[in-house]
Amino acid sequence: ATLTPLPRTTIKRQVASLVLFLCVWALGCETVHYAVLEEMESGSFVANVAKDLWLDPKGLSARRARVVSEGSRQHFQLNSNTGNLFITEKLDREELCAQTDPCILYFEIILENPLQSYRAEVRVYDVNDHSPEFSDNELLLKMPESTPPGSRFPLASAQDLDVGNNSLQSYAISSTDHFRVYTRHRSDGRKYAELVLETPLDREEQAEVSFMLTATDGGSPALSGAAEVRITVLDINDNVPEFSQTLYRAQVLENAEQDYVVLTVSATDLDEGINGAISYSFSQKSKKNVSAFSINPVTGEIRLLGPLDFEETETFEIDVQATDGGGLSAHSEVLVEVVDVNDNAPEVKVTSLVSLIPEDSAPETVVALFNVRDRDSGDNGRTVCSIEDDLPFSAKPTSKNSYSLVTENAFDREKVSEYNITITARDLGTPTLSTEERIIVKISDINDNSPEFGQTSYTMYVRENNGPAVLIGKVNAFDSDSEQNAKVTYSLWPAEVGGLPLLSYISINSENGNVYALQSMDYEQIREFQVTVRAADGGSPPLSSEVIVRVVIIDENDNCPYLYRHTADSYPASRPL
């Protein structure tokens, strides 16, 4: 979908409360389109993004909604509480886009939890804030009195920084008996004045003809600029210089050095002496041309004044004139095509990054969003994006020059807890240029490992008649998770020994696994027993494992021998000897 330019009268009526154009196809539209007038004050309302994207305004703040502009300057600000989009600074269309029309500012609306982005663009419409201007207030021409009616003379163009209907539209001259003016169009759309001689000149009657040339734009109200045209009528010099070509073409690499010879124009004059001496010059002295090229007035060589930039200007149209000593001149056009070279490496801009993800993240989880831009053209500006093959991540295109970094496989934090990812953007030029952007993604732990004992079982020994709280041994379990998930706590399973609860015999330190005898052991009553020790981690839910601990009582010589005397009827009590 596209925007239809507003009629000029409509724009004037709606400066105070601009109705913004919005292209809303459905939720998930590739690009949201808005439009504003230039020169709107900082803080001016643009649109309600939440409404246009069918989002809940209350959720924008929670999802940390923000606006990321494509360039270095942030032209817009998003109120995450209301969803309203505002202008952060006064927009000057001529500063932002020069003669490019339409003037589009691109940005992205980023939302988190889950991570989403919406492409958006704002078209900045021109207002008629510049008048047409001539580079010189006085235009000087020389014409021989023998110039035939119908002869045409291109005049220096006026410059108007506005575009569209607000740009220069027509030329007019004040009343004169000899001339008419026509508005002509160049191939790039620029307009210039062409002076046409209507009636013959007579130097003896009028040696100089002067009138005002007015350039008018199409704004409402229209703005204009004027220059005085002064034509000196010369005595007869009956041969005009003639160029060898009416149009010259040349190609120049944008990295050509200063003083490089672009081409040489050539004209001849059949007259002799001073009337046949030719001087070359630029007839259209636009700032762009005179700052980039020079012409030798004697040889006609056109040279570079400095390096060119294909990314700024692809072609130059230069008007040259050859003037003889009698003041007669001829005109030709030089078309210089700037050839792109691969002098710009791709630019990688990470717009959003989730630097910590859980190890159980599902495949295709979005970790980062980034854009790749190359200011060159053709293959020099086409890019490919990649990351290292041995990483469990991949870069997937989401739209033109936009990518998302997503997970490919499951993670195991216990093996790799951090990934250093290098994003490489490479163009297809010769030689190729590339840029690397490094990001770090850390893996957070989940409780996926149970504690493991150092032994499959333990045997501990204690001598009978021991004192209370005697350390009889230690168990140890290790959990390969981290932090709270790796904190191990020890406990005894409830059981009985000799009819008494297990906890009355032994205890275990829940933090370090030390096992203690709580009371004096009696070998003659209990020679050994076994207990189950459980090791549980601090995860949620906790994981645990068990191990059997065998406690063996070591006998001491703490009983005297007894003599038993047996009868047929009874078994009397024993008595010591």
CB atoms within 10 A of CB 140: 11
Residue range 87-100: mean pLDDT, rounded: 84
Indicate whether 408 and 500 sit together in one domain: no
User: What pLDDT sits at residue 16?
Assistant: 32
User: In 230-323, where does DSSP find H-type helix?
Assistant: 287-292
Report yes or no: 540 and 524 within 8 Å, Cβ to Cβ.
no
pLDDT at 315 over 90: yes
Can you tell me the distance from the alpha carbon of 316 to that of 334, in angstroms, rounded to the nearest whole number? 8
Residue 161 vs residue 16, higher pLDDT: 161
Q: Residue 539: inside a domain, yes or no?
A: yes
Can you tell me the distance from the alpha carbon of 250 to that of 238, in angstroms, rounded to the nearest whole number? 32
Say what percent of the chain tops pLDDT 70: 91
User: Both tokens of residue 444?
Assistant: 């957070």
Indicate whether 18 and 94 sit together in one domain: yes
Q: Which amino acid is at 290?
A: V
Can you tell me the distance from the alpha carbon of 485 to that of 478, in angstroms, rounded to the nearest whole number? 11
Report yes or no: 451 and 538 within 8 Å, Cβ to Cβ.
no
Q: Residue 3: inside a domain, yes or no?
A: no
List 142's β-bridge partners, or say none: 232
Residue range 199-220: mean pLDDT, rounded: 88
Indicate whether 430 and 472 sit together in one domain: no
User: What pLDDT sits at residue 18?
Assistant: 37
| pLDDT tens digits, 17-33 | 333 333 333 334 468 88
Question: Whose CA is closest to 401, among 422, 371, 428?
Answer: 371
Lowest mean pLDDT among 210-219, 315-324, 331-340, 376-385: 376-385
Indicate whether 118 and 99 sit together in one domain: yes
Indicate whether 472 and 383 sit together in one domain: no
User: What pLDDT sits at residue 250?
Assistant: 95
Residue range 121-136: mean pLDDT, rounded: 87
Indicate whether 110 and 145 sit together in one domain: no
User: What pLDDT sits at residue 129?
Assistant: 85
Q: What is the pTM of this model?
A: 0.45
Q: Give the number of domains in the chain.
A: 4
User: Pick from 291, 309, 339: which residue ends a domain?
Assistant: 339
Residue range 163-174: mean pLDDT, rounded: 87
Q: Residue 144: inside a domain, yes or no?
A: yes
pLDDT at 6 over 60: no
| pLDDT tens digits, 283-299 | 877 888 889 999 999 99
Indicate whether 409 and 318 sit together in one domain: no
pLDDT at 177 over 90: no
Can you tell me the distance from the alpha carbon of 275 to that of 273, in angstroms, rounded to the nearest whole number? 5
| pLDDT tens digits, 248-284 | 999 999 889 999 999 999 999 888 788 889 999 998 7
Q: Residue 520: inside a domain, yes or no?
A: yes
User: Both tokens of residue 521?
Assistant: 């052991």
Q: Residue 573: inside a domain, yes or no?
A: no
| pLDDT tens digits, 358-367 | 988 889 999 9
**Could you tell me the CA-to-CA distances from 53 to 4, 21, 24, 33, 56 in Å, in that order?**
22, 14, 8, 11, 9
Report yes or no: 18 and 34 within 8 Å, Cβ to Cβ.
no
Q: Residue 1: inside a domain, yes or no?
A: no
Can you tell me the distance from the alpha carbon of 573 to that of 361, in angstroms, rounded to the nearest whole number? 77
Indicate whether 371 and 290 sit together in one domain: no
User: What pLDDT sits at residue 58?
Assistant: 78
| pLDDT tens digits, 39-65 | 888 888 988 888 888 887 877 888 888
User: Both tokens of residue 289?
Assistant: 């041309």
Can you tell me the distance from the alpha carbon of 519 to that of 502, in angstroms, rounded to the nearest whole number? 11
> What is the DSSP secondary-structure string of 548-572?
EEEEEEEP-S-----B----SS--P
- Which domain does 15 fall in, by range? 8-125
User: What pLDDT sits at residue 490?
Assistant: 93
State CA 388 to chain mean position distance: 22
DSSP element (H, E) containing 380: helix 378-381
Say which residue the tokens 């090791």 belong to.
535
pLDDT at 80 over 50: yes
User: In 237-346, where does DSSP find H-type helix?
Assistant: 287-292
pLDDT at 323 over 80: yes
Indicate whether 68 and 120 sit together in one domain: yes
List 343's β-bridge partners, or say none: none
Length of the chain: 577
User: Pick from 311, 339, 367: which residue ends a domain?
Assistant: 339
Strands (E), 112-236: 116-125, 133-134, 138-144, 152-154, 158-159, 168-173, 179-185, 191-197, 208-217, 224-234
User: What pLDDT sits at residue 499?
Assistant: 60
Q: Residue 564: inside a domain, yes or no?
A: no
Residue 574 vs residue 268, higher pLDDT: 268
| Backbone angle region of 513, left / alpha / beta, with phi > 0 → left and psi within -120 to 50 → alpha | left
Report yes or no: 494 and 469 within 8 Å, Cβ to Cβ.
no
Indicate whether 486 and 460 sit together in one domain: yes
pLDDT at 337 over 60: yes
User: What pLDDT sits at residue 545?
Assistant: 94
Indicate whether 112 and 195 sit together in one domain: no
Can you tell me the distance from the alpha carbon of 323 to that of 280, in angstroms, rounded to the nearest whole number? 6
Query: Helix (H, G, I), strand (E, B), or coil: what is residue 206?
Result: coil
The DSSP letter of residue 16 is T
| CATH number of the domain bearing residue 88 | 2.60.40.60
Q: Residue 575: inside a domain, yes or no?
A: no
User: Pick from 95, 125, 155: which residue ends a domain?
Assistant: 125
Say what percent of the chain tops pLDDT 90: 34
Indicate whether 335 and 355 sit together in one domain: no
